[in-house]
Amino acid sequence: MRYLKKYEIAFKGLKEGKHQYEFDIDDKFFDEFENSEVKKGSVKAEVILNKQSTLMSLQMTVKGDVELLCDRCLENYIQEVENKSDMYIKFGSEAEEMSDEVIVITSDQNQLNVAQYLYELVILGLPIKHVHPDDEDGNTTCDPEMIEKLNEYLVDDIKSEEEEEPVDERWSELKKLLDNK
């Protein structure tokens, strides 16, 4: 957790207005988060803190590349990631997260660690399916040997009409009862 101290923003003593911070997110950053699906990456993060008398707002942007495991062929590949988010920070008597965009911190707190928020921003910027991108011709760039193996064991759920098994007449009569209700 010591490594994540460099992602702290000291806001006490800052003048009201916008303040810009830049952070590098690297392999060590992702190692700090348990069970992270990203192990390697090079991402630039920009955080703009807008300090006002009663609240603060953060505009966070991440952009870069991370290494992921392909769901299809199980090889690593480079995935571009880009995401942005806005967050509002209010002052209160107890620290709490009111929603994904609003957090409350105590008035005696003088700095905010944005590492967790930047990590979530990177993870939420990833596609749901992790697969190698297609080439210019629309062909997969996955490992050809693995794709061949997958096609070998591919099960076709759609049976042709000739392959359909004959239906037992007793089941047909019972289905009629269900349809009548």
What digits encode the pLDDT tens for the residues 112-127? 999 999 999 999 999 9
Least confident among 17-21, 79-83, 110-114, 177-181: 177-181
Question: Per-residue pLDDT for 71 more than 70?
Answer: yes
Q: Measure Cα distances from 13 to 4, 10, 92, 107, 172 in Å.
A: 22, 8, 18, 13, 79
Task: State how far the Cα of 91 lies from the Cα of 54, in Å rounded to an integer.
Answer: 7
